[in-house]
């Protein structure tokens, strides 16, 4: 089969690109959470909403995208153009994110092994 090598290479490249995309997203979220912790933007639930946090204007466009993603996940709170970490939700989020990374990495490994097996059987 003449196109088999090309298909195998395309599959390996697609797996690598998918892994890079997910890794980049997770790293942006990690950096944003670290920045918010460093600046003391933590809402422990005892403070009024919007009293703590940093202004959205202080964040870059990538950080704002990550903030929106984390707010959708329930980890960040965005009120009155200020963003803060919801400490109550952080533990569950970390466990889910770790599970996603391990499952995704294992899935990518299995796909790469399958493609390698197909190449070697040739």
- Over residues 14-36, the pLDDT tens digits come to 888 888 888 888 889 889 999 98
Q: Is the pLDDT of residue 89 over 70?
A: yes
Q: Is the pLDDT of residue 49 over 60?
A: no
Q: 80 near 54, Cβ under 8 Å?
A: no
Looking at mean pLDDT, say which of 11-15, 67-71, 113-117 comes out highest: 67-71
Which of 62, 72, 60, 73 lies closest to 100, judged by CA?
73
User: Confidence band (pLDDT; 50, 70, 90) for 47?
Assistant: low
Which of 105, 113, 55, 46 lies closest to 80, judged by CA?
55
State the sign of the Cα–Cα–Cα–Cα dihedral 67, 68, 70, 75.
positive
pTM passes above 0.85: no
Q: 111 near 104, Cβ under 8 Å?
A: no
Provide mean pLDDT across the span 117-121: 78
Burial of 71 (0-12, 13-18, 19+ CB in 10 A): middle
Which of 35, 21, 30 lies closest to 97, judged by CA?
30
């Amino acid at each position: 089969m003449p196109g088999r090598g090309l298909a195998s290479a395309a599959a390996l490249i697609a797996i690598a690109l998918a892994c890079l995309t997910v890794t980049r997203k997770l790293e942006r979220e990690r950096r944003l959470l670290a920045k918010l912790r460093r600046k003391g933007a933590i809402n422990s639930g005892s403070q009024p909403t919007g009293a703590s946090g940093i202004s959205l204007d202080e964040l870059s466009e990538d950080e704002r995208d990550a903030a929106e993603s984390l707010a959708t996940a329930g980890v960040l709170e965005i009120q009155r153009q200020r963003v803060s970490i919801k400490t109550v939700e952080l533990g569950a989020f970390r466990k889910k994110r770790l599970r996603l990374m391990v499952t995704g990495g294992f899935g990518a490994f299995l796909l790469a092994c399958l493609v390698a097996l197909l190449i070697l059987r040739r």
